[in-house]
Chain A
Amino acid sequence: MPASPWLAAAPIALITAVPVLVLLGHLLHPDQVIWQHLWRHVLPELLVNTAWLALGVGLGVSLLGVSLAWLTAACDYPGRRFFAWALLLPLALPAYVTAFVWLGLLDFTGPLATWLRESWGIHWLPPIRSRAGVILVMVLALYPYVYLTARAAFQGMGPRLTEAAQSLGVPRWRAFFRVALPMARPGITAGVMLALMETLADFGTVSVFNYNTFTTAIYKAWFSMFSLPAAAQLASILIFFVFVVAVLENLARSRRSYAASTRASQIPARIALRGGGALLAFAWSAGVFGLAFVVPVLQIADWAAGVYAQDFDARYLGFAWHSLLLSALGALIVVALALVLGYAQRLRPTPAMRLTARLATLGYALPGTVLAVGIFIPVAWLDNQLIAFFRLDGQVLSGTLLIMLLAYCARFLAVGFGPVESGLSRITRSVDEAAQSLGVVGRRRLTRIHLPMLRASLLTALALAFVDIMKELPITLMTRPFGWDTLAVRVFEMTSEGEWERAALPAAVIVLVGLLPTYWLIKHTEHAHT
């Protein structure tokens, strides 16, 4: 840690702040005509739409994520070991691919509706292209964020709390609501915030459903009406909204403190479920896993098999390698920066520092393309300055891996910071004081005490960042060096002209490569305490 936490936190925050400010700079030349049009004809609908979407997805991911996390972390039932890691897998699927698969299966032209019409004469299915449909698909795609962070929180509790509650005669289910849930709140909130930011930034999924949100309006203003100022105006409203929510959430959290069990040597006794309870737990886990992962993957595999002979070639090794390398490097850097930022906030928990940390994570709520352009403009500017100064005959920064990785940090710092922050919040002052009284201070305290206690959180952050970067598209497209195509880029090449069946092949490989870290993560957190 440098002498002042600010020396560490400020540069990290700048990585995100610069692109955001570059965009907001366009507010200086407002585009009145377009803005008035948007205000009258577009904004009313999208405000309502975005609010419903955020509310629905927020509730949905909380319900699915927390219930499944509790079942796999604290209970025992048939299949628990498998579901513990399998329930993470939907993360590896790009959300818009899941959306397209479900739309294809459930829409009027899909197999189910056709079969009902032709065999039973039933002409009515609840419409999938509806608000409820978008929310459902998004929840299925995004609940793993909450599942993962809530699970880390439940695992970090240790057994004594629930034991204490039970010894006081509190029944088990009440102990969950009275003790476990409030204790896990920072972790759960971190996951819900991630899912909500992802929802607000999403363009692919809402496009598949033709559901108008802030993001679609931003794209429309910029790329259809050619008005960057209007797009920046919309983006600034979005950013402001997210920022306020993040700050409020942070205030609410900082007023309470959470203790964590520091006896990391004991495995909590699992609640063994029997009979009906076990059946319910199994059905719930299997149902979510089936809808969020098995069905989409079967459809993708079916499509991929159809185009395999025509499209699969030696280049796929290169695509997979690029995806792996970028995701691994990016995830490591994101988590390292998140850890530094988390520590800076811990050492200097002033309001200014908290605001800085919130600001640094805002990149996750911005639509990807908007952020990509926001990153590219200052990089190109810097390149132009260098070229002028040194009289070079080509760019130095653009199209280098360094810029690409920095851009990933601007987007995904939130993904690393959420788990790290909630992990740090559970290491109380008393831990530090105890360490100090034993003479364990400074670097030794970090390596001997903090890092082991943070292990689950760090692994969580790594896995999330890894999978997210692997699926990321706009920044990859904009900043990749010549010839550095990834699997996600292949998906884009196919879907942008509507060749979804051919996009299934790279999507299937993304899933295969994404399986590794999720499996590895859960295996390692299963026995990591706190």
Chain B
Amino acid sequence: MRLIRTSLALLALSLTTAALAAEVVVYSARNEQLIKPLFDAYTKETGVTVKFVTDKEGPLMARLKAEGANTPADLFMTVDAGNLWQAAEEGLLQPVDSKSLQANIPAHLRDPGNEWFGLSVRARTIIYNPNKVKPGELSSYEDLADPKWKGRLCLRTSKKVYNQSLVAMMIKEYGEPKTEQIVRGWVANLATDPLPDDTKAMEAVAAGLCDVTLVNTYYFGRLMEKKPNLPLAIFWPNQNAKAPNAGVHVNVSGAGVTRHAKRRQEAIRLLEWLASDKAQNLYADVNLEYPVNPKVKPDPTVAAWGSFRQNLINVAEAGRLQTRAVMLMDRAGYK
């Protein structure tokens, strides 16, 4: 019996990668083309190999949970604070006490419990057709529920997390009844059924099917790079500091060290490097996002859209209130 056990153990050992030396394993819901250049640069600089697996965030979290203490993953990386919050909520991450992370990342873009950290910022803002709308007509997210926009608004489907986070932040500011009124107003103003993605929504605005929509800034950047002549312009809403819900709704992509990381120090080093001055441009610019680190200037294309006041509510709230936001959008008939 003992002999069998030993030989089986030896066999299993030979099958597993015992090389715990200079490598770190990342589970990432951020696409390969956005992270691979970074990891290659990191390997070049430090000699540490980064192994990574990409998947959607939901399956990755299910995977981390099922693997438990034996997970090979050291770092979990994903888009949207809601997903990061959920990973922390499920007990998949561990707190990291790091001076450099706290110095490089503004407080509202990381977990108050230090389990996850934003690494890039995307703003969810208003895009309008300058041939049909004067910037003076625009003011805030809430204003798009006003009857003057009837038949002039396009929205992306409520199934994607980006509008769920926006609504969650509004619940935090206004409470559910008032937020539901606003969302119902949006639905009443729709020119067409909700569209499958931000790009389609902008194309509809450019084609004249509607006049305004809400998108993440990098989709706008990407579309304008491909088709610079489209009649589309960017507007920063909620800039009146004295009004409620002040500031543009921002979200992050980010990462956290897994609860059972076998290479905890390596994971922290990689995380600190990603938030550092030299990596931040590489991280954000590849997707036309804003660096999370305030010392780092965004890509010239992104900088040209002008500066704006961010909403300073901690993005963790988007996660905490996400389920309620989804239910509210269902009730309001926002598909």
Contact = CB atoms under 8 A, between A and B. Distances in A.
17 contacts: A210-B157, A210-B335, A225-B323, A373-B66, A380-B66, A381-B66, A386-B12, A391-B9, A393-B16, A394-B17, A394-B72, A474-B59, A477-B54, A482-B51, A482-B53, A498-B198, A498-B199
A127 to B, nearest CB: 8
Contact of A210 (B193, B327, B330): B193
B2 to A, nearest CB: 12
A483 B50 CA distance: 11
Interface stretch (A59-67, A216-224, A518-526): A216-224
A225 B204 contact: no
Contact of A109 (B9, B17, B33, B203): B203
Q: What 3 A-B pairs come out closest when comparing CB atoms? A: A394-B16, A380-B66, A223-B58
B57 interface: yes
Interface of B: 5, 8-9, 12-13, 15-18, 20, 31-34, 51, 53-59, 62-63, 66-70, 72, 86, 89, 157, 159, 161, 164, 192-200, 203-204, 206-207, 209, 219, 222, 287, 322-323, 326-327, 330-331, 335
Given A109-B203, A393-B16, A477-B56, A498 B197 contact: yes
Interface in A208-239: 208-210, 212, 216, 219-220, 222-227
A369 B58 contact: yes
A108 B193 contact: no
Contacts of A114: 207
Contacts of B8: 390
Contacts of B209: 108-109
Nearest to B8: A390
Nearest to A501: B226
B322 A224 contact: yes
A386 B34 CA distance: 36
Interface in A369-415: 369, 372-373, 376-377, 379-381, 383-384, 386-387, 390-396, 398-400
Nearest to A104: B200
B70 A387 contact: yes
Given A210-B194, A390-B8, A392-B12, A220 B31 contact: no
B33 A493 contact: yes
B15 A224 contact: no
B322 A369 contact: no
B205 to A, nearest CB: 9
Given A103-B196, A497-B287, 15 more contacts: A34-B327, A37-B327, A109-B200, A210-B157, A225-B322, A225-B323, A377-B66, A380-B63, A390-B12, A392-B16, A393-B16, A395-B70, A478-B63, A483-B51, A493-B54
A398 B53 CA distance: 13
Nearest to B332: A41
Select the residue from B51, B55, B161 with max chain A CB neighbours within 10 A.
Answer: B55
Contacts of A369: 56, 58-59
Contacts of A483: 51
A393 B72 CA distance: 10
A32 interface: no
A506 to B, nearest CB: 12
Contacts of B68: 380, 384
B101 to A, nearest CB: 25
Contacts of B322: 224-226
A387 B15 CA distance: 13
Interface of A: 34, 37, 41-42, 103, 107-109, 114, 129, 207-210, 212, 216, 219-220, 222-227, 369, 372-373, 376-377, 379-381, 383-384, 386-387, 390-396, 398-400, 474, 477-478, 480, 482-483, 485, 489, 492-494, 496-499
A492 B33 CA distance: 11
Contact of B59 (A383, A386, A393, A478): A478
A494 B34 CA distance: 10
A492 B29 CA distance: 11
B196 A210 contact: yes
B16 A396 contact: yes
A493 B194 CA distance: 24
Chain A interface mostly helix, strand, loop or mixed?
Answer: helix
Given A210-B193, A210-B195, A376-B62, A225 B70 contact: no
B54 to A, nearest CB: 6
Contacts of A494: 31, 33
Nearest to A392: B12
Given A227-B323, A390-B5, A109 B206 contact: yes
B285 to A, nearest CB: 15
Contact of A226 (B16, B54, B323): B323
B192 A224 contact: no
A208 B159 CA distance: 11
Given A108-B207, A398-B67, A212 B335 contact: yes
A29 B195 CA distance: 35
A208 B195 CA distance: 8
Contact of A394 (B18, B195, B196, B219): B18
Contacts of B62: 373, 376-377
B289 to A, nearest CB: 11
Contacts of B86: 226
A482 B50 CA distance: 11
A25 to B, nearest CB: 13
Nearest to A496: B31
Contacts of B195: 210
B16 A395 contact: yes
Nearest to B218: A497
Contact of A224 (B55, B159, B193): B159
Nearest to B330: A41
Contacts of B331: 41
Given A210-B157, A477-B56, A482-B53, A493 B32 contact: yes
B16 A380 contact: no
Contacts of A392: 9, 12-13, 16
Which of A224, A369, A380, A474 has the most chain B CB atoms inside 10 A of its CB? A224
Contacts of B17: 394
Contacts of A492: 54
A399 B52 CA distance: 13
Contacts of A41: 327, 330-331
B227 to A, nearest CB: 11
B175 to A, nearest CB: 18
Contacts of A226: 86, 89, 322-323
A250 to B, nearest CB: 33
Nearest to B202: A109
B67 A380 contact: yes
Contact of A496 (B9, B56, B159, B326): B56
B266 to A, nearest CB: 16
Contacts of B203: 109
Contacts of A477: 54-56, 59
A212 B17 CA distance: 43
Nearest to A498: B197
A209 B194 CA distance: 9
Nearest to B262: A393
Contacts of A493: 31-33, 54
Given A210-B195, A224-B322, A396 B31 contact: no
A220 B326 contact: yes
A96 B2 CA distance: 54
A483 B25 CA distance: 12
A406 B5 CA distance: 26
B57 A223 contact: yes
B204 to A, nearest CB: 6
